[in-house]
């Protein structure tokens, strides 16, 4: 009964990382096993006696049969990954498994029968030395070569797991087969040429052997070093570039969208994004945000070297009414921190989006910039710097933004806007709610309607609980939930950048909001501001895709999409801007080399995102809200879910849709801002629109 009412989704997804690791282990053991087996087979002709040669042949035949089982094992581990979606297994099923399956098949068809013949008992068994006919037969390439091919295929297949090829898989397929083919030709030559004057050539020994090892090692070092050096050099970011310059046409749709750097696509006139500004006229609301250097003292006493808007962290709450024309002046009074303001979750005109190097230049110390936009949405949003955002947001340049509905909201609602954030303090990383890291108490009379506007201003997902009362989630990312139902003792996962509105009627006993990363902190509401209530530390997990009731949407899973894109989020070793990292990639690339999503104004667009990496990624698209069509292959069945930040846990996949109705050049990035700063950033571009702004060291603009 309870779980029926709480829209539970558990477990979020069965241990993707475990299943990935099983596949990894099978691939690794397969490689080791076949490398050893290939070596034994190659040495078979050099058995000291004919009897030993026969015995070894029989054993090696069995070893090959056993080794063949690795192929079905790898197929099973790949199919388990396929259970998470096609992109979790495509590289394995199309490249990795065939690379070992084909030579394994050759081993079974050719090597095993040959070994069987070699292993037959014979009167020669009494002889001391393996007779040339027997050893010659054992030196035939059919005995040793297929196993060596399995080992080579196994090596490439294993390395492929590490480098995680993403769709389209043609290039990785060509590289894999392109590496394997010439290597096998060289190996074949050696295996086919072992008998001289009727005698098997001796194995190289002493200096000859040392030379071979040295040559092989040098070749590997040159190859690996050459690749790493090339990657290192080409990863360096140019000092001055356009964020969208290196984009390509991409995806499926009605013919490619033209995107030359200063695009005149399809005969469209070039439109610089600077023309997409907010409306003119007298603003209904005016605000000034003054950025300054600051020193923040948390409620525990821990201190933070910070940067603040109007001397507050979080910055002042900007509260406007739907329909208001809002004008915000950013004034930079820091000593050395160029900055901007981005309106997270607001679908503002492109030139007002606040992205340094894309929609404007960073505002230098002493400078100012005016933003104007009409509040078309309602709900809970936030604003933050979009210049060097991974450092500036972390240091405090963010604040809440609330848009009230146009007709006056029912009076008497007690509101708490709560922004969760982690600060680097003198006492280490500290989780806070509104910069408080200790319990905050508030008194609320029983019977009062209460709304908590929860903002995750941190990089990582957070789990929240509300103890002491049933509650409803009435909005997600600002968008209202249709027909929300009561939740009891439910755990709410909120990804970085995301928001939930929670509503309940104040009971006569305490209610406690807890961020599970800091159970001692939190918000305790009680009739008299006193009292105690233990934090709720666990519970079934909320699933927004199954919560509330369906309602009409302008498009849905069965619509005809004009364009669709596939994005795979992953990890691989590599360099970013000349530094070695375990990279966070989108389709194998890091910014600014991630192909841009190119659309035409008015198109209906579908985006499928799969997260193959081991961490969650809150993917945030600027300027648009996406409708969630499905999660992990299951259609969304609850209230229509419109998100600006979609958090994909490890192993998850989402199908999303949006209407390309806000022309411009828009960021689409992981809102773990550290990931974004290390390349997990791409763009959505409308055909025919260009930016006059440049990014890169020489320009002072760096969005992430």
Q: Which of 491, 624, 671, 675 binds ligand C2O (CB under 6 A)?
A: 671
Q: Nearest distance from residue 343's CB to ligand C2O, in Å?
A: 9
* x/- track of binding to ligand C2O for residues 485-524 (CB under 6 A): ------------x---------------------------
Q: Which of 372, 421, 631, 669 binds ligand C2O (CB under 6 A)?
A: 669
Number of helices (H) and strands (E) in the chain: give both, helices first. Answer: 13, 35
Check binding of 61 to Cu ion (CB under 5 A).
Answer: no
Q: Which of 31, 524, 607, 667 binds ligand C2O (CB under 6 A)?
A: 667
* x/- track of binding to Cu ion for residues 581-620 (CB under 5 A): ------------------------------------x---
Q: Give residues with Cβ within 8 angstroms of 695, minimum separation 6.
A: 240, 241, 242, 243, 356, 357, 358, 592, 701, 702, 703
Q: Which of 394, 395, 612, 622 binds ligand C2O (CB under 6 A)?
A: 622
DSSP E strands, 577-625: 579-586, 597-599, 604-611, 617-621
Nearest to 504 by CA among 521, 525, 518: 525
Contact region with ligand C2O (CB under 6 A), list: 81-89, 506-514, 604-612, 664-672: 664-672
> In 10 A of CB 591, how many CB atoms?
25
Check binding of 342 to ligand C2O (CB under 6 A).
Answer: yes
Q: Nearest distance from residue 100's CB to ligand C2O, in Å?
A: 42
Q: Nearest distance from residue 615's CB to Cu ion, in Å?
A: 6
Q: Coil, helix or strand for 597?
A: strand
DSSP 406-463: SSPPPTT-EEEEEEEEEEEETTEEEEEETTB-S-EEEE--TT-EEEEEEEE-SSS-EE
- Among positions 613-642, residues that touch Cu ion (CB under 5 A) are 617
Answer with the entry of ligand C2O, Cu ion, none that 683 interacts with (C-beta below 5 to 8 A by kind): none
CB 580 within 8 A of CB 573: yes
CB 703 within 8 A of CB 396: no
Check binding of 620 to ligand C2O (CB under 6 A).
Answer: yes
Answer with the entry of Cu ion, ligand C2O, none that 617 interacts with (C-beta below 5 to 8 A by kind): Cu ion
Q: How far apart are the first and last CA of the chain?
A: 46
Q: Nearest distance from residue 676's CB to Cu ion, in Å?
A: 7
DSSP 2-61: HHHHHTB--SSSS-HHHHHHHHHHHHHHHHHHHHHHHHHHHHGGG-SSHHHHHHHHHHHH
Size of the site for ligand C2O (CB under 6 A): 10
Answer with the entry of Cu ion, ligand C2O, none that 372 interacts with (C-beta below 5 to 8 A by kind): none
Check binding of 563 to ligand C2O (CB under 6 A).
Answer: no
* x/- track of binding to ligand C2O for residues 293-332 (CB under 6 A): ----------------------------------------
Answer with the entry of ligand C2O, Cu ion, none that 344 interacts with (C-beta below 5 to 8 A by kind): ligand C2O
Check binding of 672 to Cu ion (CB under 5 A).
Answer: yes
Tokens of 634: 């299951």
Residue nearest to ligand C2O (CB): 344
CB 330 within 8 A of CB 363: yes
3-state SS, 236-271, equals CCCCCECCCCCCCCCCECCCCCCCCCCCCHHHCCCE
- The footprint of ligand C2O (CB under 6 A) covers 342, 344, 384, 386, 497, 620, 622, 667, 669, 671
- The footprint of Cu ion (CB under 5 A) covers 617, 670, 672, 675, 680
């Amino acid at each position: 009964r309870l779980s029926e009412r709480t829209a539970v989704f558990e477990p979020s997804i069965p241990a993707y990382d475990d299943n990935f690791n099983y596949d990894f282990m099978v691939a690794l053991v397969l490689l080791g096993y076949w490398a050893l087996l290939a070596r034994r087979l190659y040495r078979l002709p050099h058995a000291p006696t004919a009897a030993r040669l026969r015995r070894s042949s029989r054993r090696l035949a069995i070893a090959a049969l056993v080794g063949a089982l690795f192929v079905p094992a790898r197929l099973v581990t790949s199919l388990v990954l396929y259970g998470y979606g096609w992109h979790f297994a495509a590289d394995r099923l199309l490249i990795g498994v065939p690379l070992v399956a084909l030579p394994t098949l050759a081993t079974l068809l050719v090597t095993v029968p040959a070994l069987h013949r070699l292993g037959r008992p014979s009167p020669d068994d009494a002889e001391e030395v393996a007779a040339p006919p027997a050893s010659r037969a054992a030196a035939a390439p059919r005995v040793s070569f297929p196993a060596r091919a399995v080992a080579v295929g196994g090596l490439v297949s294993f390395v492929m797991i590490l480098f995680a090829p993403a769709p389209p898989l043609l290039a990785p397929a060509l590289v894999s087969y392109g590496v394997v083919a010439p290597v096998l030709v060289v190996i074949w030559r050696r295996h086919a040429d072992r008998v001289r004057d009727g005698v098997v050539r001796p194995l190289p020994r002493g200096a000859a052997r040392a030379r071979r090892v040295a040559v092989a090692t040098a070749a590997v070092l040159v190859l690996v070093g050459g690749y790493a050096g090339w990657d290192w050099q080409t990863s360096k970011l140019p000092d001055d570039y356009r964020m969208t310059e290196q984009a390509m046409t991409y995806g499926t749709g009605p013919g490619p969208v033209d995107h030359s750097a200063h695009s005149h696509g399809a005969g469209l006139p070039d439109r610089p994004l600077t023309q997409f500004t907010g409306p003119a006229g007298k603003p209904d609301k005016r605000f000034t945000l003054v950025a300054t250097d600051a020193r923040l003292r948390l409620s525990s006493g821990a201190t933070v070297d910070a940067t603040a808007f109007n001397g507050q962290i979080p910055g002042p709450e900007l509260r406007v009414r739907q329909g208001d024309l809002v004008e915000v002046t950013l004034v930079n009074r820091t000593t050395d921190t160029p900055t901007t303001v981005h309106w997270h979750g607001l679908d503002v005109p492109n030139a007002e989006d606040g992205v340094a190097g894309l929609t404007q230049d960073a505002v230098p110390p002493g400078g100012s910039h005016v933003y104007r936009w009409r509040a078309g949405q309602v709900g809970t949003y936030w604003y933050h710097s979009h210049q060097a955002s991974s450092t500036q947001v972390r240091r405090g340049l963010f604040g809440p933004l609330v848009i009230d509905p146009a007709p006056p909201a029912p009076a008497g609602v007690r509101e708490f806007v709560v922004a969760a954030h982690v600060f680097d303090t003198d006492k280490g990383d500290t989780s806070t709610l509104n910069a408080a890291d200790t319990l905050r108490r508030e008194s609320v009379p029983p019977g009062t309607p209460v709304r908590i506007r929860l903002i995750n201003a941190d990089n990582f997902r957070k789990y929240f609980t509300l103890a002491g009362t049933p509650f409803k989630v009435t909005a997600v990312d600002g968008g209202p939930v249709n027909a929300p139902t009561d939740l009891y003792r439910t755990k709410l996962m909120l990804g970085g950048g995301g928001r939930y509105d929670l509503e309940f009627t104040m009971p006569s006993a305490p209610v406690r909001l807890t961020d599970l990363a800091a159970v001692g902190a939190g918000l305790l509401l009680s009739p008299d501001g006193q009292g105690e209530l233990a934090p709720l530390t666990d519970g079934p997990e909320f699933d927004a895709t199954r919560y509330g009731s369906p309602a009409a949407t302008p498009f849905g899973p069965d619509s005809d999409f004009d364009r669709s894109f596939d994005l795979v989020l992953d990890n691989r070793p590599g360099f970013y801007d000349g530094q070695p990292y375990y990279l966070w990639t989108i389709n194998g690339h890091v910014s600014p080399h991630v192909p841009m999503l190119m659309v035409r104004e008015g198109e209906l667009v579908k985006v499928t995102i799969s997260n193959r990496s081991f961490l969650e990624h809150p993917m945030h698209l600027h300027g648009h809200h996406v409708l969630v069509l499905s999660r992990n292959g299951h259609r969304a069945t609850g209230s229509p879910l419109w998100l600006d930040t979609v958090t994909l846990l490890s192993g998850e996949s989402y199908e999303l849709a949006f209407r390309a109705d806000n022309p411009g050049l828009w960021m689409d990035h992981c809102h773990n801002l550290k990931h974004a700063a290390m390349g997990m950033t791409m763009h959505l571009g409308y055909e025919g629109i260009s930016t006059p702004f440049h990014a890169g060291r020489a320009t002072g603009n760096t969005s992430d």
